[in-house]
Structure 1
Amino acid sequence: MRDPVRDGDPVRCGSVSGVGDARGRTGPLAGLRVLEVGHILAGPYATMLLADLGAEVTKVEPPGGDLSRQVSDAYFASLNRGKRSVRLDLTTPAGQARLHDMARDAHALLVNLKPSAIRRLGLTYEALAPVNDRLVCVAVTGYGLDGADEPAFDYAIQAATGVAALTGDPEGPPQLPGYSAADNSAGLTAALGLLAQVHSGRGGQVEVTLRDVMLSQLNYRASAWLNEGTAPQRRAGGAHSYYVPAQLFPTADGHLALFITHDTFWRAFATEADVDQPAFATMAERSARREEVVAAVTKALSADTALGWEARLRPLGVAAAAVRTLPEALAADPSVIVQAGRFRLIGSPIRVAGHTPSYADPPRLGEHEEAT
């Protein structure tokens, strides 16, 4: 049988015009078969994004299931909609034999476990190449397959890479963003790495580490330190390193995120807010006189509410947004909410012209064992 991924152009896993795979899945990744072995967040998030785009994703779960099933049904659904599930005990010869059968027919395997577990369970390209030398094996770990089994949960990575040190009030303790920034970012990166190697038409090992992903996301902060010796500073309101004013400000009611870069945006804001704009006319002047600018803007914004300023500034092209809670944000833009079986979830952030994702329930544990 012709393989739509491996024969011809390897990236053409399907078609946005509606061409589907043998199981009727459609989308740009229809025909791509991915195995997932992992738990909780980073790996399952990566493969869910692929499933949303039409890939067939099969969760290979231990007999007790992915640990996220123990958190809550809603939590599990948020990371595993539209997948298939089989139970395998990979510590047994029978489990290994079944894994190899599945790997022969797969294009990629994505794993997020401790390095020692990945090697012990034979989930590397080195171990699986004799079974399928065109299999792409993606390992999502804290510090790399050759790194130690140090605990690498999201919050620990944020602390270890400087993210927490940059977050919070400068006079207070370091803070965490309040969501799983490292795991989600690593999932996005892993999905990209998987597709890049599949596109090459060759099998191989791909590694994504939570540490590297978060350090990469501190790109301009790291460059300033490495090339200019400028140490990162935590600023009030989460202020930007270079742009002024670009931070959170209090208003007459609520807080406003204001992000002004170029001089034209400053002139538009200053005119609307009645700030003495010639005094801080250029980006360089505003950066050099940061405290004066912030004081002037804070005083001006006290004249209206956060929602009022948002309504006034956005039509002028000025980036401004009132701080909302998540429920308020979802109420303001309900189009991002989709129905996935019995769950209401946030839909795919990737929108491809001509493709409407088919969102389905997350799988019951072992639901697809007879079909594989």
Structure 2
Amino acid sequence: MRPGAGQGARPAAEHDAQPAAGAGPLAGLRVLEVGHILAGPYATMLLADLGAEVTKVEPPGGDLSRQVSDSYFASLNRGKRSVRLDLTTQEGQDRLHELVREAHALLVNLKPSAIRRFGLTYEALRPHNERLVCVALTGWGMDAGDEPAFDYVVQAATGIAALTGEPGGPPLLPGYSSADNSAGLTAALGLLAQVVSGRGGQVEVSLRDVMLSQLNYRAAAWLNEGTEPRRLLHGAHSYYVPAQLFPTAEGHLALFITHDGFWQTFAAEAKVEGEGFATMAERAARREEVVTAVTRALAADTAAAWEARLRPLRVPAAAVRTLPEALTAAPEAVVDAGGFRLVGSPIRVTGYDPSYGPPPGLGEHGSA
């Protein structure tokens, strides 16, 4: 469905002509972004990659990520426009309202008090565009106050850190911004869902809610069965056995056996010793025995060799790689965006080849 289609849509005359063949699926969608650093900018960059026109509304000093590094900023803001506005002034507010009248959606990634103070809610902007979709991306929710909600803080507060690491060891954090990125993906989905409805309105997404949602089966086990979440050695899965990292003659191998057919194929290839492991229920009940037998078998070869042997057999396995090694192994994932080499969109649409533009200069497309 095209932007604004459906009940209550704007008159067709207010929309761009149908996009040309080969245009992105979101061509014609106009999105405004107000925010800093990661979650919000990542959400709107994904939309821009799919053809949406995204305009960053930046304060006089710019998005704070500009202060980190040029490549950092580019990794979250390629292909966007930039308008520099001081939203504390009447001139800045007037220009914002002009942009709002021509937009389909506004995504804001600020603390709740700032969102309200700058008039960035649907309630405040409805007089300027009643079809506008407003997305508030916050740490704890619009009604939860302004407590700091950076990625690592949210991971600690929602149980992610407590679930990460080895049994008996300290809690750990993954090596990337999982809460921000996940919240950005969710915010993009919420924005598009409301746009497709053809109605304006307010959408809320919080980092806390997103991370609790991603603990789906862990949370369900606790809420319905009283199963206390626990860490297992080598990041082992709580249900599937064997599904974890294993040491090999050289390097580590991720093995993920989710059904009995995988196990039969793997056990035959690796010559795993032991009886009574045929079903998942048996393997789960005898986890330590299975892990010991698999560890012994995998010690006979390197992680890279095991991957090469198991992949053709369709057994889920991969040698643990560094990020540079992973990028080298997937050159098609790297794109050029105005001179910056970046990881491209993870969404592939048949017939559409994204054109990755450079990140915008601060205020490159106007200021007030």
TM range (shorter): over 0.9
**Matched residue SS, 1:291:** helix
- Does residue 209 of the first structure (1) align with residue 213 of the second (2)? no
Q: Which one-letter code corresponds to 1:54 in the other structure?
A: G
326 and 337 in structure 1: CA distance in 2 versus 1, 3 angstrom threshold: same
Q: What percentage of residue pairs aligned between the two structures are identical? A: 77
Aligned mate of 1:231, from 228, 233, 250: 228
1:278 positional shift: 4.0
**1:274 maps to what in 2?**
271
Between the aligned partners of 1:308 and 1:191, the Cα distance in structure 2 is 40
Aligned mate of 1:123, from 113, 120, 130: 120
1:18 positional shift: 3.4
**1:295 maps to what in 2?**
292
Query: What do you get for the CA RMSD once the two structures are aligned?
Result: 1.9
CA contact (8 A) 1:14 1:29 kept: no
- Output the TM-score relative to the length of structure 2: 0.95
**1:23 maps to what in 2?**
none
- Does residue 329 of the first structure (1) align with residue 338 of the second (2)? no
Between the aligned partners of 2:235 and 2:330, the Cα distance in structure 1 is 25
**1:46 maps to what in 2?**
43
Runs of 4+ residues over 6 Å off in structure 1: 12-17
Between the aligned partners of 1:110 and 1:71, the Cα distance in structure 2 is 22
Aligned mate of 2:184, from 180, 183, 187: 187
- Does residue 255 of the first structure (1) align with residue 257 of the second (2)? no
**1:69 maps to what in 2?**
66
1:5 positional shift: 2.4
Kindly provide the CA deviation profile for residues 73-92 of structure 1, in whole angstroms up to 9, marking residues without a partner as x: 00000000000001000011
CA contact (8 A) 2:6 2:197 kept: no
Between the aligned partners of 2:190 and 2:37, the Cα distance in structure 1 is 20
1:276 positional shift: 3.1
CA contact (8 A) 2:5 2:196 kept: no
Aligned mate of 2:87, from 90, 95, 100: 90
Kindly provide the CA deviation profile for residues 318-372 of structure 1, in whole angstroms up to 9, marking residues without a partner as x: 10000000000000111000010110000000000000001010000000117x9
Gaps of 5+ in 2: none
Q: How many residues align?
A: 363
**1:5 maps to what in 2?**
3
Aligned mate of 2:170, from 132, 153, 173: 173
Q: Which has the higher contact order (CA 8 A, sep 6+)?
A: 2
- Output the TM-score relative to the length of structure 1: 0.94
1:19 positional shift: 4.5
**1:306 maps to what in 2?**
303
1:277 positional shift: 5.7
Q: Which one-letter code corresponds to 2:20 in the other structure?
A: G
Between the aligned partners of 1:16 and 1:104, the Cα distance in structure 2 is 20
171 and 14 in structure 1: CA distance in 2 versus 1, 3 angstrom threshold: farther
